[in-house]
Amino acid sequence: MMTRQEIIDRFGGVFEHSPFVAERAFDNGSIQEPLKARDVHAAMAAQFRAASPEEQLGVLRAHPDLAGKLAIAGELTEDSRREQAGAGLDRLSPQEHARFTALNADYVQKFGFPFIIAVKGLTKDDIVTAFERRIANSREEEFKTAKAQVERIALLRLAALLPGDENG
């Protein structure tokens, strides 16, 4: 049986820089062995949904801008770096990078948190299209959409952490 600290060490980063999600899932007994990505995700997502709106906003704000300053400086988490590279965001032309920078700035100014999308399987063009479509959302709609994307990212990360459970 994994200890509380082992669970936090292994899954604390699944919800970007927000180990409280794994801590609460462990503390209420909802993470059970054998560990399966879908089960661990369900336990952690329930805690994320039960968190206060301020805590949820903190999780959203912990996510980096896509192709933003942290990526350029090489300061993304390994998960974020791999995810962004998989979508080609580490190989943008200067014009594409300028477009992402402008979209990021407009989005953060409007919503108060970075644009979040599960990039696995998407191209940079798919991401720009989603960016442009979602920036027209209301704050309430986008808060809900961003939280759903955070949960999808968490499931993909858990599937990668738990071999034999690739499909989540």
The residues annotated as belonging to the active site are: 63
Sign of the Cα torsion 60, 64, 65, 69 reads positive
Q: 53: which 2 tokens?
A: 């709106």
Count CB neighbours of 27 within 10 A: 13
Query: Is there a contact between 145 and 137 (Cβ–Cβ < 8 Å)?
Result: yes
- 142 — phi, psi (to 5°)? -75, -35
DSSP code for 115: -
Query: Is there a contact between 168 and 159 (Cβ–Cβ < 8 Å)?
Result: yes
How far is Cα 115 from Cα 94, in angstroms, rounded to an integer? 20
Contacts of 139 (CB under 8 A, 6+ apart): 110, 111, 112
